[in-house]
Amino acid sequence: MSEFHDIAVKINGRSYERRVAVRMNLADFLRHELGLTGTHVGCEHGACGACTVLVDGRSARSCLMLAAQADGCELETVEGLAGETDLNPLQQAFWDRHGLQCGFCTPGILMTLTELLRDTPNADEAAIRAALSGHLCRCTGYQNIVAAALAVAGKT
């Protein structure tokens, strides 16, 4: 009801309680309040997908959610994907197949593909490209991103 709102969120398994400005979007909250700067901001109008995170397991543009709306939610961000020493299989496939160049759009894309491959472990190229259509990448032409996802889906 005021300028601030108290929230409790779980991010990558860790609990946070914070008082947030109500106009702060979720991406800015993750980045600037919690220092989770792996989630990137590319357009702030919900078109580029760089800020994609998982909210209760579902991919969402974090620039299109208020931080206040995440209260009580479980979030997953790129920082939660890898183990202590090893990349996870999707990250490893991106590395092996040169699925990234400047790396700015990569965290959001990894989160979308994480959701897709959980739902559809054997996703085909059409499904992968459809899921990726919610992301803009200027470097890769998408080809090696698709190849990396197909590798994880056991299609190559």
Partner 1 sequence: MKAAPFEYHVPRELHRALDLMAQLEDARVLAGGQSLMPMLNLRLASPRHLVDLNRIAELSGIREEGDAVVFGAMTRQRAIEFSEVVARKLPLFAEAVRSVGHRQTRNRGTIGGSLCHLDPAAELPAACMAMDAILRVQSTRASREIAMRDFPAGFMTPSLQPGEILTGIVLPPWTGRVGTAFLEYARRHGDFAVVSVAVLLELDARAQISRASVTLGGVAAGPVRMAEAERALIGKRLDEAAIAAAARLCGQIEAMGDPFVPAWYRQQLARTLSERALRIALERAVA
Partner 2 sequence: MSAQRIIGARARRVEDPALLRGEGVYVDDIACPGVLHAAFARSPHAHARITRFPVEELKAMPGVVAVLTAAELASEMTSVLMPPQFPSSSLPPGAGSYVLAPKEVCYVGEPVLMVVAESRALAEDAVAAAEVDYEPLAAVVDAAAAGAPDGPKVREGIASNLLTRFKVGYGAVSEAFASAPHVYRERYWQHRGVAHPIEGRGVLARPEPGSRKLTVWSSTQMSNLLHSMLVDVLGADEDDIRVIAPAVGGGFGCKYLVYPEELAVAAAARKLGRPVKWVEDRCEHFMAAIHERDQYWDVEIAVDANAKVLALRGSLIHDQGAYTPQGFHASYNSASSITGPYVVPAYEIDVQVMQTNKTPVQPVRGAGYPQAAFVMERLIDRVARELELDRAEVRSRNLITPDRMPYPKKLKNRSGAELVIDGGDYPKCQALGLERIGYAGFLARQKAARAEGRYLGIGFAHAVKPTGRGPYEMARVRVSTSGRVTVYAGAMEMGQGIKTSLAQVCAEQLAVPLERIEVTAGDSAYIPAGFGGFGSRQAIFCASAVHLAALAVRNKAIRAAATLLEAAESDLELKDGRVVVKGVPGHGISLGDISRKLRGAPGYALPGGVTPILEADASFQLDLQAFANAFHACEVEVDPGTGHVSLLRYVAVQDSGRLINPLIAEGQVHGGVVHGIGNALFEWMRYDEQGQPITTTFADYLLPTATEVPNIEVLFVETPSTTNPLGVKGLGEAATIAVAPAVIAAVENALEPFGVHINEAPLTPVRVLELIRNSNPERKLP
DSSP β-ladder status, 4-11 and 74-76: parallel
Residue 134 beta carbon to partner 1: minimum distance, rounded to whole angstroms? 3
Using CB under 8 A as the binding rule, the residues of this chain from 90 to 119 that contact partner 1 are: 112, 115-116
Q: Does 17 bind partner 1 (CB under 8 A)?
A: no
Q: Does 38 bind partner 1 (CB under 8 A)?
A: no
Using CB under 8 A as the binding rule, the residues of this chain from 111 to 140 that contact partner 2 are: 128-130, 132-140
In this structure, what token pair is assigned to residue 7?
């929230």
Residue 27 exposure: Cα atoms within 13 Å on the Cβ side:
21
**Partner that binds at residue 61, options partner 1, partner 2, none, CB closer than 5 to 8 Å by kind:** partner 1
With CB under 8 A as the contact rule, the residue among 6, 8, 14, 22 that binds partner 1 is 22
Contacts of 128 (CB under 8 A, 6+ apart): 113, 116, 146, 149, 150, 153
